[in-house]
Chains A and B, each alone.
Chain A
């Protein structure tokens, strides 16, 4: 592999893993700093074998995502932290210069805090969801800064308990 390819690969992996840490620590500002403000689109999708259709359960651009994250403190919610584990499996160039398709697999765990009967369950960790991140990442050819221009969270898990106010 050429040195340039290695640097691109490293930049993409840093973007994926560092942004994952930001999501895990609910540092929304930092997560959004990895997303192209002018172009980023975020979706949560799945295929329902029940209705035999692709479904979209959430779609926001950068501003829209920022909006719902900013407003979180006004909502009653489950504050149990979510922990994402990600492995990057594929990085492939696209027809657009400096843009790459990236496929990662994630598992997402929820450590109970205040969702249900904290006296019994707080501190328990359970697998909450599994799926794939299908990302498009743009890498600056000079600075090697990588940023998301598209993320599709493709869920395998379709029963999401009571749901989630925060993105996966």
Chain B
């Protein structure tokens, strides 16, 4: 007898009577999930270059983003170059008045990058310019730490009375220092205040962050072939703790893990509340003795700020992860580790060791997360391999509930003017 083999098998019952599900043919594979529209995403959200460009315009050009920490510019005339929103080049400078200002790092003359080093001090002599000023090496235009143009070589000869220094200045970006001493910027001059944007989301760790000054001790970055949201989502759902041996040993297998609550806030921010981690359950690891002000021993809190920043406070060290989207499939990931500025050398060493056990390029968890998100991007391709991703777990807002993902896409949809479930 001739047998026709069709793709897509029927579901089967196991001996225990459980339905095992079925394989799918093309039609059923691409069908919309039979779930509320708030509980799944169309993959074009991650793969479509037009969506990416729209995100830069409608989200990244309008939200507050942390770019670096104030301790990266501890002295007058220190500067730090960064980039946001598709890598628009920025420079932050601590002026002679001790105030940190942020500018577009672009010369208004011919559009060249003004300061090229990742960091430095304007008092150091440069081949092309005078100390205390930012000098564009191309034609020698100089700007002081307040963004004023202070020198145009052969100004009168070239521009006569038509243009002068007073007409020229750097584009200053709205900035505020807040939430543990981070420099936040917003490219939109007419944006809401930072405090309005974050709302009360930082309340859960304000004692830890703002009781005394913090200081950076760790910086790493990597350009990863993934969409920025996929990386951010690893901080918004903890169901993937199954992937991390460290988190299974120190968290999932410990009492109280499944009671940890997820909270969502206005504007797409979300947090996982305090839990206690059994660090010594991971072989070779130990209890964490140091904490932050107000933080219990071995505690862990995490806050995700829409659209691309995570504060993770694990007892002795704060990790702040910031994503800069480069394209729909390329993301600059920057990770900073911080302790208290008042640390003794011994305390600082302990915080660094704690930080590097889990995070850092040689930490146990980071690589696993990054492997996962770059493989998500590889597997999705241009979006034609899979049409929908799920974010449908509901567990009374506890740790494996995917409410953090849903709150993100509620805000995303509001700002983009379209549903993430049907583009």
Contact = CB atoms under 8 A, between A and B. Distances in A.
Contact of B362 (A58, A64, A75, A161): A58
A77 to B, nearest CB: 7
A44 interface: yes
Nearest to B246: A75
B371 interface: yes
A50 B118 contact: yes
B362 A44 contact: yes
B368 interface: yes
Interface in A68-99: 68, 70-71, 74-78
Contacts of A78: 367, 371
Interface in B79-116: 80
Contacts of A52: 72, 119
Contacts of B353: 59
Interface string A49-65: 11111011111000110
A112 to B, nearest CB: 12
B216 interface: yes
Interface string B207-250: 00000000011111111110000000000000000011100000
B361 interface: yes
Interface in A129-161: 158-161
B375 interface: yes
Interface in B358-415: 360-364, 366-368, 370-371, 374-375, 378
Contacts of B245: 71, 74-76
A50 B73 CA distance: 10
A53 B221 CA distance: 15
Nearest to B249: A74
B375 A116 contact: yes
22 contacts: A48-B219, A51-B219, A52-B72, A57-B220, A67-B284, A71-B245, A75-B364, A75-B368, A76-B245, A76-B368, A77-B367, A78-B367, A116-B375, A117-B375, A158-B220, A162-B224, A162-B371, A163-B360, A163-B363, A163-B367, A165-B364, A167-B362
A50 B219 contact: yes
A115 interface: yes
B370 A163 contact: yes
Contact of A59 (B118, B243, B356, B364): B356
B217 A53 contact: yes
B218 A164 contact: no
Nearest to A55: B218
Q: Interface SS of chain A: helix, strand, loop or mixed?
A: loop
B361 A51 contact: no
A161 B362 CA distance: 11
A163 B243 contact: no
Interface string B240-278: 000111000000000000000000000000000000000
Given A116-B375, A159-B221, A49 B118 contact: yes
Contacts of B118: 49-50
A117 B371 contact: no
Interface in A93-116: 115-116
Given A52-B119, A55-B219, A116-B378, A163 B72 contact: no
Nearest to B69: A51
A51 B222 contact: no
Interface string A10-24: 000000000000000
Given A115-B371, A165-B367, A51 B225 contact: no
B361 A164 contact: yes
Contacts of B368: 75-77
B243 A76 contact: yes
B119 A50 contact: yes
Contacts of A164: 361-362, 367
Nearest to A158: B220
A51 B216 contact: yes
A55 B217 contact: yes
Contacts of A75: 245, 364, 368
Given A55-B218, A77-B368, A165-B367, A159 B223 contact: yes
B374 A70 contact: no
A109 B220 CA distance: 20
Give me the 4 closest cross-chain CB pairs, A-B, nearest first: A67-B284, A162-B370, A163-B361, A160-B361
